[in-house]
């Protein structure tokens, strides 16, 4: 009797995130997922790299990578090598043309094969005109986050942005201290836009008591439980900054 064929495992875009992150970390980058519109962002010194994740190679992922180029130093696309003998043979035949196209566009090409990242091409010499404002906005979002709380390529959990972290800090304080004025929340948390966050109440976490005074609402209490790991990481990051030795003059 012939052995029964094993069913093919269908990958998801988010399955590419961990191998790509490990690859970039091995190169010395600090990596976080879902920063701005980028699936993956890595920062090492003054260098910033973005990687767009897709299951298949094609124009959509190339369009995304080209949109990232003005904001970063290096942009890659990372795709999954398809399962099945015929599909893999077709991919292997496609790689030379894919590499040539990526190099013409100034984009790097990575693939995930058998759980390992294969580097087909690094970004070429093509350098578009940088957009300093977009770069600064992306770097600010990266730096203001307390850690890597998003899985690049997935949309199951609401994205943890720097704004959401700031809102969580405000909610945590109100839960502990009761109703407070926005200025007092700003002073206690260090969140400079605390009053705006409380007033706009984007997530429905706060309730207005009187003008300029707010308390936490039931959805805010639920959010504190859901994002307990994010709050813990933020507190640790704040503590590390406070205890870090001052740079020598």
Given this model, what pLDDT does residue 3 score? 45
CA dihedral 93, 97, 103, 104 (to 10 degrees): -170
Residue 3 lies in a domain: no
Q: Is residue 29 located within the same domain as residue 114?
A: yes
DSSP state of 125: S
Structural domain range at position 111: 13-144
State which of 85, 114, 144 marks the end of a domain: 144
Given this model, what pLDDT does residue 38 score? 95
Residue 248 lies in a domain: no
Q: Is residue 186 located within the same domain as residue 106?
A: no
Q: Is residue 27 located within the same domain as residue 79?
A: yes
Residue 224 lies in a domain: yes
The structural domain count of the chain equals: 2
CATH number of the domain bearing residue 115: 3.40.1350
CATH number of the domain bearing residue 182: 1.10.10.10
Phi/psi of residue 222, each to 5°? Answer: -65, -40
Determine the average pLDDT of the residues in 8-32: 89
Strand partners, 77: 52, 109
Residue 4 lies in a domain: no
Tokens, residue 231: 């709050």
**CA separation for the pair 158, 160 (Å, rounded):** 6
Given this model, what pLDDT does residue 61 score? 94
State which of 112, 144, 176 marks the end of a domain: 144
Q: Please tell me the pTM assigned to this model.
A: 0.71
Residue 7 lies in a domain: no
Residue 97 lies in a domain: yes
Q: Is residue 206 located within the same domain as residue 235?
A: yes
Q: Is residue 53 located within the same domain as residue 111?
A: yes
Query: For residue 22, is pLDDT > 90?
Result: yes
Residue 172 lies in a domain: yes
**CA separation for the pair 235, 241 (Å, rounded):** 10
Tally of CB atoms within 10 A around 86 = 8
- Cβ partners under 8 Å of residue 156, min gap 6: none
Determine the average pLDDT of the residues in 134-146: 91
Q: Is residue 175 located within the same domain as residue 236?
A: yes
Give per-residue pLDDT as tens, 204-214: 999 999 999 99
* H/E run at residue 42: strand 38-44
* H/E run at residue 112: strand 108-113
Given this model, what pLDDT does residue 244 score? 64
Given this model, what pLDDT does residue 124 score? 76
Q: How confident is the model at residue 186 (pLDDT cuts 50, 70, 90)?
A: very high
Q: Is residue 90 located within the same domain as residue 182?
A: no
Q: Is residue 134 located within the same domain as residue 206?
A: no
- Cβ partners under 8 Å of residue 111, min gap 6: 78, 79, 80, 81, 91, 117, 118, 120
Q: Which one of 55-69, 79-93, 117-131 scores highest in mean pLDDT?
A: 55-69
Query: Scanning the structure block, which residue is given the tokens 């260098």?
Result: 47
């Amino acid at each position: 009797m012939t052995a029964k064929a094993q069913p093919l495992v269908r990958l998801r875009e988010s399955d590419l995130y961990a191998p790509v992150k490990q690859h970039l970390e091995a190169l010395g980058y600090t990596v976080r997922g879902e920063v701005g519109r980028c699936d993956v962002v890595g920062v090492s010194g003054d260098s910033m790299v973005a990687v767009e994740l897709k299951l298949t190679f094609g124009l959509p992922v190339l369009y995304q990578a080209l949109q990232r180029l003005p904001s970063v130093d290096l942009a890659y696309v990372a795709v999954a090598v398809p399962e099945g003998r015929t599909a893999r043979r077709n991919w292997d035949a496609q790689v030379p043309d894919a590499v040539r196209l990526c190099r013409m566009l100034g984009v790097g090409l990575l693939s995930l094969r058998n759980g390992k990242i294969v580097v087909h091409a690094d970004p070429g010499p093509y350098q578009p005109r940088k957009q300093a404002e977009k770069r600064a906005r992306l770097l600010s979002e990266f730096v203001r986050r307390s850690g890597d709380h998003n899985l690049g390529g997935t949309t199951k959990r609401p994205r943890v942005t720097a704004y959401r972290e700031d809102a969580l800090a405000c909610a945590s304080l109100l839960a502990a201290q009761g109703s407070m004025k926005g200025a007092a929340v700003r002073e206690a948390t260090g969140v400079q836009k605390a009053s705006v966050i409380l007033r706009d109440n984007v997530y429905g976490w706060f309730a207005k008591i009187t003008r300029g005074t707010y308390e936490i609402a039931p959805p805010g209490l639920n959010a504190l439980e859901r994002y307990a790991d994010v709050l813990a990481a933020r507190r640790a990051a704040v503590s590390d900054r406070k205890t870090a030795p001052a740079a020598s003059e």
